[in-house]
Amino acid sequence: MEKGSKIYVAGHRGLVGSAIVRNLKEKGYINIVGKTHSELDLKNQADVRKFFEEEKPEYVFLAAAKVGGINANNTAPADFIYENLEIQNNVIKAAFDFKVKKLLFLGSSCIYPKMCPQPIKEEYLLSGYLEPTNEAYALAKIAGLKMCQFFKRQYGANFISCMPTNLYGPNDNFDLNSSHVMPALIRKFHEAKVNNEPYVEVWGTGKPLREFLHVDDMADGCVFLMENYNGEEHVNIGTGREVTIKKLAEIIKEVVDFEGELRFNTEKPDGTPRKLLDVSKLEELGWKYKIELRNGIIDSYIWFKENNKKQ
């Protein structure tokens, strides 16, 4: 990519897209295009094609998606698979038809089988059953990365994919009904502290292991791949390090300075027991994460306090 190349970031106001925009600007890219949902509904094929025809972006980061945590995925699976397929299909096909030079599709580590060998290598895709609680979202993401792979295979389109691990950071979703575990716990501990509550409830047993990547690291990895990778196989983006949900809750408790106790609600689902990505492929290409977990949580909590209207 040239510094003046026209770059379209789909989903530029979300957690992932906004971080990619920040990273691109920091690296000196000056011609970045973004459209809000009200300006461009990516589920509308005609509108998407009109946008690509008029704007003629040269490079595309496909970060737009309908996302959510265990509760949201479990209760609205039809919405998750249908809306994500619509978004992907429209953007990828338009990118091909209007001769985009390169596209990066972002997936999620939930595409891998529930009981995958650890750490998870890219080649383990489609080697077993998916986690039922987010199967709909995972199937949509698998379809997206396969679509990029097949457009490259059949037509030579330079469409690549990456699979980030669990992300967190500025612009995260802190809604307790639809958020992932990290922002949900930050909000729970903050509100418990403000309201002088005696305890915070954490879903599940606290035993599952999770890997967390700060979204600014993820964005840096995405731009690195756009600049340096043209392979057909998708690439994992993560830290290669993991922590139990219990330990995560303890770190957040310390960062927020909440003095009450932790209570684990074992009636709630744990989700996948372990989900650690093998990031050796990306490291061999020359990229590695920089932001350590505690520092990243501090950064997220500062952002939450500055942007939360119910402090």
Alpha-carbon 247 to chain mean position? 22
107 is in an annotated binding site: yes
CA–CA separation, 126 and 84 (whole Å): 19
16 is in an annotated binding site: yes
Annotated catalytic, 301?
no
6, 21, 3, 5: which is closest to 52 by C-alpha?
A: 6
167 is in an annotated binding site: yes
Residue of 8, 29, 59, 137 with catalytic role: 137
Terminal-residue alpha carbon distance, the chain: 42
101 is in an annotated binding site: no
CB 124 within 8 A of CB 112: yes
Residue 263, SS3 per DSSP: strand
166 is in an annotated binding site: yes
CB 144 within 8 A of CB 104: no
11 is in an annotated binding site: yes
161 is in an annotated binding site: no
CA–CA separation, 307 and 170 (whole Å): 9
14 is in an annotated binding site: yes
203 is in an annotated binding site: yes
CA–CA separation, 22 and 4 (whole Å): 16
108 is in an annotated binding site: yes
234 is in an annotated binding site: no
17 is in an annotated binding site: yes
307, 288, 305, 71: which is closest to 176 by C-alpha?
A: 71
180 is in an annotated binding site: yes
147, 164, 161: which is closest to 90 by C-alpha?
A: 147
210 is in an annotated binding site: yes
> Residues with Cβ < 8 Å from 245, sequence gap 6 or more?
181, 202, 204, 205, 206, 207, 208, 209, 210, 270
Known binding positions for NADP(+): 11-17, 106-109, 141, 164-167, 180
**Residues of each annotated binding site for substrate:** 188, 203, 210, 270
Which residues line the annotated binding site?
A: 11-17, 106-109, 141, 164-167, 180, 188, 203, 210, 270
What residues are annotated to the active site? 137
